[in-house]
Amino acid sequence: MMLATPPVAVEKFSGAYESLVAGSSDVPEWLKAVRQQGWVTFSELGLPTKRRGNELWKYTNLQPLAAADFAYSIGGSVTVDQIKAAGPWDDVWNTVVVVDGKFSAELSNLHDTAGLDAGSLAEAISTGKGDIESQLASLAGREEYAFTALSTAFIEDGAYLAIADGTELEQPIQVVFVTSSDAESRASYPRLVVDAGANTSIVLIETYLNLSGTAQFAAPVSELFAGDKSTIRHYRVQMENETSFHLSTARVRQMGDTNFISTTFSVGASIARNDVHTLLDAPGASCTLHGLYMTSGSQQQDQEISTTHAKPGCTSNQFYKGILSGKSHAVFSGKVVVMRDAQKSDATQKDLNLLLSRGAEIDAKPSLEIYADDVTAAHGATAGHVDKDTLFYLQSRGVDEEAAKAILVRGFAEEMLNEFEPKALNDFVERITDERIPVLLQQSDTIGTA
């Protein structure tokens, strides 16, 4: 092989990593080892770039991220009112708040709910709660992936949720990861571990907010363990400011007869990449991965969705919708791998896009890798414009063109919005969508092409 290109931007993070190591004599030895492994992996990889010929990053240009500088320090100051104003909130939910990567007891709103242990990841690590030692960075962090490796090198705190066997919770648990409003550009590594025991049923909302107007870099990593026969209704809301970088990873390991249903609402950030992987690791596991992304200006949004059918009789369903305007660029990369043993697997993939401008671009790549022979699979992707016949239909009833377009765009989003069931969450995503549509339409120039 020829000389490899040197890893990109490693030096930007090395100072912070060294001071973290120097300043944490009291963390358990096993965590030190985990961090070190993360750092070694990251320093070999560096930030992914297009020119390193990495297929997974072919469509995402991280140049602006590599060119920026970020300070690292956890736990800035934020008020509850700021969080309530910026994101979804309901007092009856259990809400864990993490500020710049650090758990905040004052801002969190925790009720004494039987069967639920919700709080700080740092505390879970130092007191060795549950299976934290074997779980942390087991699904994400030891693989060859720059952002999970980087996040793993910087594990300090975050949120930890443990749900005791047999616990069924009606009310959602929200985890808010918020970047404080301080002026400087920071790096943060929001980290979440969810240990859902057997026969549990929970609703989990992950919310990413940004109170700052400056560019922030967040590399969130969530690891979810779904015990036998558990049901996790999962939501994810990404609302970073439009100069920020959001490179998230979610890894889910599903045991037998589990049901993981996830819906993502991704509208923020300058560059956002949501990398979700579900591992169907026992018979009868089923996952539904849905999402809605809306992009405008020069935003880049990348949904990397993958599911591995490792055992027989599992079902997966990936379905995303995108609304693109301006000169924005979105990627839907849906992947399903069906292993040799995973007979009677059922997998569907779909990505539907509404392009509102000529400058907007979508790369939709659903793909299937099948090694078993008894499999039902279907996939499809479309990119269309607002239909001129439907537009005329609405106009002929007296609705003016702008309002008619807004109705049609909203109609396109509707089925995804309907999935956000908790009332306060539904109100929130509907409000944000209604606020965004006029912005999208302002940058629109292709209405009426059939």
Partner 1 sequence: MLEINNLHASVVDIENSEILKGINLKVGRGEVHAIMGPNGSGKSTLANVLMGRPDYLVTDGDVTLEGESILELRPDQRAHLGMFLAFQYPAEIPGVRPWQFLKAALDSKAESRGEDKMSVRNFSKLFDEKVEAVGINPNLVKRSLNEGFSGGEKKRNEMLQLEVLQPALAILDETDSGLDVDALRIVAEGVNSMRSPERSFIVVTHYQRLLNYITPDVVHILVKGKIVKTGGPELALEVEKDGYQEYLEAAGANA
Indicate which single residue of 123, 133, 143, 387 sits in contact with partner 1 (rule: CB under 8 A).
387
Mask 413-432, x = binds partner 1 (CB under 8 A)?
xxx-----------------
Q: Does 408 bind partner 1 (CB under 8 A)?
A: yes
Q: Give the Cα separation of 108 and 97 in Å (integer).
A: 5
The H or E element that residue 388 is part of is: helix 388-396
Residue with Cβ nearer partner 1 (18 or 445): 445
Residue with Cβ nearer partner 1 (415 or 435): 415
Q: Give the Cα separation of 198 and 189 in Å (integer).
A: 29
Work out how close the CB of 8 gets to partner 1 at its nearest, in angstroms, rounded to a whole number: 42
Q: Give the Cα separation of 237 and 248 in Å (integer).
A: 12
166-175 CB burial, b ≥16 within 10 A, e <16: ebebeebbbb
- Point out which span in 148-156, 178-186, 361-369, 391-399 binds partner 1 (CB under 8 A): 391-399
Helices 401-417 and 388-396: angle between axes, nearest 10 degrees: 110
Indicate which single residue of 18, 24, 77, 392 sits in contact with partner 1 (rule: CB under 8 A).
392
Q: Does 383 bind partner 1 (CB under 8 A)?
A: no
- Point out which span in 58-66, 74-82, 303-311, 402-410 binds partner 1 (CB under 8 A): 402-410
Strand-pair category, 221-226 with 173-179: unpaired
Indicate which single residue of 399, 439, 443, 446 sits in contact with partner 1 (rule: CB under 8 A).
399
Give the phi and the psi of residue 393 in degrees, each rounded to 5: -55, -50
Residue pointed to by tokens 């699979």: 377
Helices 401-417 and 423-442: angle between axes, nearest 10 degrees: 140
Work out how close the CB of 362 gets to partner 1 at its nearest, in angstroms, rounded to a whole number: 19
Q: Does 412 bind partner 1 (CB under 8 A)?
A: yes
Written as one letter, the residue type at 396 is S
Q: Does 448 bind partner 1 (CB under 8 A)?
A: yes
Distances (CA, A) of 143 to 241, 249, 307, 315, 320: 29, 12, 16, 25, 26
Work out how close the CB of 450 gets to partner 1 at its nearest, in angstroms, rounded to a whole number: 10
Q: Does 393 bind partner 1 (CB under 8 A)?
A: yes
Q: Does 320 bind partner 1 (CB under 8 A)?
A: no
DSSP 229: T
- Point out which span in 176-184, 212-220, 327-335, 404-412 binds partner 1 (CB under 8 A): 404-412
Residue with Cβ nearer partner 1 (371 or 393): 393
Residue of 126, 107, 123, 109 lying closest to 159 (CA atoms)? 123
- Point out which span in 32-40, 179-187, 290-298, 383-391 binds partner 1 (CB under 8 A): 383-391
Residue with Cβ nearer partner 1 (371 or 392): 392
Taking a C-beta distance cutoff of 8 angstroms, is the pair 391, 381 a contact? no
Q: Does 438 bind partner 1 (CB under 8 A)?
A: no
Residues forming contacts to partner 1 in the complex (CB under 8 A) are 387-390, 392-401, 403-404, 407-408, 410-415, 448
